[in-house]
Structure 1
Amino acid sequence: MKIGCPKEIKPQEFRVGVTPTTAGEAVRHGHDVIIQAGAGLGAGFTDEDYIKAGARVADTAAEIFASSDMIVKVKEPQAIERKMLREGQMLFTYLHLAPDPEQTRDLIASGATCIAYETVTDERGGLPLLAPMSEVAGRLAPQVGAWTLQKANGGRGVLLGGVPGVGPAKVIVIGGGVVGTHAARVAAGMGADVTVLDRSLPRLRYLDDVFGRDFRNRYSSAAATAELIADADMVIGAVLIPGAAAPKLVSREQLSTMKPGAVLVDVAIDQGGCFETSKATTHQDPIYEVDGIMHYCVANMPGAVARTSTIALTNATMPYLLDLADKGWKQACADDPHLLDGLNVHAGKLTYLAVGKALGIDVTPPQVILKAA
């Protein structure tokens, strides 16, 4: 199979979908790997590194899209890239379709088979291809939030860990999953006063058993959220409903109850954001203010630490990439129902229920698609 990896073109996105290590493994499996010139530079990989691994280097993305059976990326294809997809081609990347009707329509129209990293599951009900970037984003959230809290950036001028005689910042993390747990660990490690909100009692018991001395947890209700954010210096939104749009858990009206200069960090922005006032930003222009509250809503947070993120991501995606290349999507998905969960679009049909509900589009179940194929 011809596997193509174009350079990411989303603003300030420095990750790459295929590393030289991944390329070398694919070549050893008998596949032809084509990398766009300069695609890996942001993550510290040169064209020569790919050539040594056995890959070919192409000058343009157009050449890669035209010649490849499978396109491997990091971020969702941008409009110019979606125009280059074709019927029968496979796309393997993050998609986050629920808040993005334009992308969804374009992918359906392309006729391509689109498998989303973020909806591939595992036998424990986890999301193994989302987890590495959730870990990175979670650990970044207190770091970028602390920067936003600085007075020069519009924040309250509060040091996350405080100093002797001055109390630490109060940090509320909404969601106790992978993102929330890593965010809480780092914020607590920086000396902040941290509380995690979650609706799962088993998850709260786990957090209490493992991290009870590091941070507190509470059951997530509208009343608890309202109470805690009113006294917070930083609120980290870490809520995820797989494949679906994130619920809005903090309204614009509630901003008036918060301390002026408090910070909202919305890690759920890829799925539309969990604060009513959230809108996607970039690393180049990451923050904005609404009603005196600072918002950090960068849609590709892990791109800021591109080398760490790229290696972590490709460690997780490589076995699936090789399976898809070795067997083709039909056999690979037939053999692995968890990979089939990643199928979002195929041959002009939407196949992921949560996206269909979010966008009002008819859905053909992936099992039906697979049986017909």
Structure 2
Amino acid sequence: MSDLFQQVSLKTIKPTNNDEYEICNTKTELDSEIRCLLDNIYSGNRNLSGNKNTKHLDNHKSDIICFFRGFAPDKGKLNTEIRKARYFRDLFIVGEKGKGYLKNEGQDGQIRYPQYFVGEIHQQDVYRLLKFVNRAIKTKKSKDKELKPIELDKIKPYIEKETTQIYMFLLNFAHNIGGSWPDKCLSPFVSASYGNKAYDIALSFAKGKNKQRRHSYIILGFGKKSDEKNVVFTKELTEELETLYAHWYKDIHSEMIIKDCIFPNQILGVFEISNESDHDINDNDIFIVNPSLYQLFEENEKKYGDACSDILEYICTKGIPVDQTEFDLAAAELGYVLYAEQDCNGKNELSPIGHEAYSPLPNNRPLDK
């Protein structure tokens, strides 16, 4: 088993008798099965330990990818144990959405919406975004390679024929550029890391975002590598830039850009890591298991089945079943004013909180070669 799940203490969220929530220990008898499942999704088909008893994802689940996201909960949400439990209860119902879904007010007090959400994308929107992207590339420096902006004559045919598609391509790239993008607060994307160094990368980002706190937080999630409607790998994004004769940094952070949301049925849990410790996980660090996932283990306990194998098969096929009866309240408490709903075909639709989803959102597919 990976060291990542050997020492960390397992906890989950449960309701109390006074209509609040608490972060409590998981059942000791379920711990080994939970760690087994986490390790399987993390390691995939790779046998990290050589332990014959370790179960691994079989070939038909090889499309599953594990990812980590370092994030910072809003200030004031975690200042008491009750508020912390409530916050994570909400997170496990709603998921982690792009900043564009939060309430963003302009100087006039009006809520700002990303162009991504506002009807049809026009060529002028693409050229405006292209202008920023090229200016950003020109101002950056790299020791490894010469950075070059996108050549207009190479991208113009895409703009004319696939306006929305090329806009999404540039929007992903603007998100990847990061802090110098003035509309980063309106981005509909969520970044995460994958691969062997993903946890360390996410922890580095988490500690950078939680400098004034005792703990840093990392979401552990999973999805499908083939989900081109909603996921772009930065490595592929930079390769596509090369087809436009542009050069950008290497993808040193093994980043994947997730459109709209890490949905709650993709979240296995959240690491709470002490900011005083180094990268090694110890007994003082905890992993908060998604309560909906934990419920599957509790239900399976009564059936005397192989919980790790049974639940792994179930969630890799259908995702974690999450009760979203209180979604509107939980989303509002997290500060969201919009949400995206995903249908069985992986297509996302947009709506204000409290209303049915009605407006189709564009796919996040890469450029056609």
Instruction: Report 1 or 2 for greater relative contact order, CA contacts < 8 Å, sequence distance ≥ 6.
Output: 2
Report the TM-score when normalising by structure 2. 0.30
Report the TM-score when normalising by structure 1. 0.30
